[in-house]
Amino acid sequence: MADLDFNSRTLTQTVSQVKPVGNFILKTFFNDESFSDTKYVDVVIKKGGRKVAPFVSPKLAGKVIKRDGKVLKTYEPPLMKPKFITEAEELLNTDTVFYADNSDPEERAMLKLAEDLADGKDRIARRKELMCVSALVDGKIIVKGDGVEEEIDFGRDAQNTKILTGSALWTDEGSDPINDLKTWSDYLFDKSGIAPDKVVFGRDVANAFTAHAKVQDAMDKKRIDIGEINPKKLEDGVVYIGYLKELNLEIYKYVDYYENDEGVSTLIMPGDKLIMGSDRAGGKIAHGGIVDFKAFKAAGMDTNIFVGDIFVKSYEENDPSVRFLVFQSKPLPLPGDVDSYLSAKVV
């Protein structure tokens, strides 16, 4: 009977083919990736600008203009490193076991290994999604774990974080959700030069919005189009609410969960908040290189730095006798033009 291939190259190539969990915010606002061959990535924090070219006499030299609106910082992206004890190899030795689907021990072992690889990739994907949500809701990412505690602040203007109170809350009949969206859309365009085209509601925000009398009235007057969207094109937990024509704004409800450190099921997108922005703002995921003796470059050249999304390796320990699968990934969501995004607590 053949042994399972626990070679790092094979494991990493296999995990890269596994379809990850939804990651709606990541794929909506961080639609590009970059990969570094060092531990660090350069972060360009951009601010929108509208300066014009100067007039100069044909007899004079060109005028040197000052470049502004960008700040360059260097970060080492935070390391994710989930580690599993895999039982896949043990299934190879269960020759006397018979399965209802007539699969043999080797097939079962391969299936178990595939499940372990998918589990590791899913955990990393959820953490990346949480980082993306934090970058857009708070304008920064808090990294806290074993041996690490830091804050990555993208320098977003404090005015891009709104908190409604009292009668302005969307749960109050005196509030005006559509007017708020108009005001904030104008604000973002004035601030950054990028008009938002998407707004994502948390669960409670979406429920308050669709139940609001003024929103219902706007729908009746055809100022909001409820489009016919093929559900297969949407992620699990994502609902297309409608399209606000006068603002060119698509509206979504996003409800998905992760399990926090206490084992409590928690919303990835805060239920009482919304995110407004554009997929044209230049958001991307930057990956730092992973330093490991078993690492390799995608081109096959031997090196101790892996360039890519997720690096997987496996090793055995004799006492106790176990085999570990170790996943490593160093992603950092970068919002692009940070002032082109807005978050608001509205319920």
275: CATH: 3.30.1930.10
Q: Is 176 among the domain residues?
A: yes
**Predicted local distance difference test score (pLDDT) of residue 309:** 92
Q: At 187, give phi and psi (nearest 5°).
A: -60, -45
pTM above 0.75, yes or no: yes
**Predicted local distance difference test score (pLDDT) of residue 56:** 78
Entry field: residues in the chain: 347
Q: pLDDT tens-digit profile of 289-319?
A: 998 888 765 445 566 888 899 999 888 887 7
Q: Both tokens of residue 229?
A: 């969207």
Residues near 340 by beta carbon (within 8 Å), at least 6 away in sequence: 48, 188, 191, 192, 193, 194, 196, 277, 278, 281
Q: Both tokens of residue 294?
A: 């078993």
**Predicted local distance difference test score (pLDDT) of residue 229:** 42
**Predicted local distance difference test score (pLDDT) of residue 65:** 60
**Predicted local distance difference test score (pLDDT) of residue 321:** 74
> Are 174 and 167 spatial neighbours (Cβ–Cβ below 8 Å)?
yes
Q: Is 76 among the domain residues?
A: yes
**Predicted local distance difference test score (pLDDT) of residue 25:** 96
**Predicted local distance difference test score (pLDDT) of residue 1:** 38
Q: Is 320 among the domain residues?
A: yes
Are 14 and 132 found together in one domain?
yes
**Predicted local distance difference test score (pLDDT) of residue 104:** 63
Are 183 and 139 found together in one domain?
no
**Predicted local distance difference test score (pLDDT) of residue 232:** 44
Are 211 and 147 found together in one domain?
no
Number of domains in the chain: 2
Are 144 and 12 found together in one domain?
yes
Which of 98, 100, 97, 107 shows the shortest CA–CA distance to 1? 107
Which residue type occupies 324?
F
Q: Is 58 among the domain residues?
A: no
**Predicted local distance difference test score (pLDDT) of residue 124:** 94
Query: Residues in the chain with pLDDT < 70?
Result: 1-3, 46-50, 55, 57, 61-72, 89-105, 220-233, 296-303
> Are 286 and 331 spatial neighbours (Cβ–Cβ below 8 Å)?
yes
Are 25 and 99 found together in one domain?
yes
- Domain residues for the domain of 232 are 158-283+337-345
For residue 20, whether the previous peptide bond is cis, meaning omega lies within 30 degrees of 0, is: no
Q: Both tokens of residue 323?
A: 């085999």
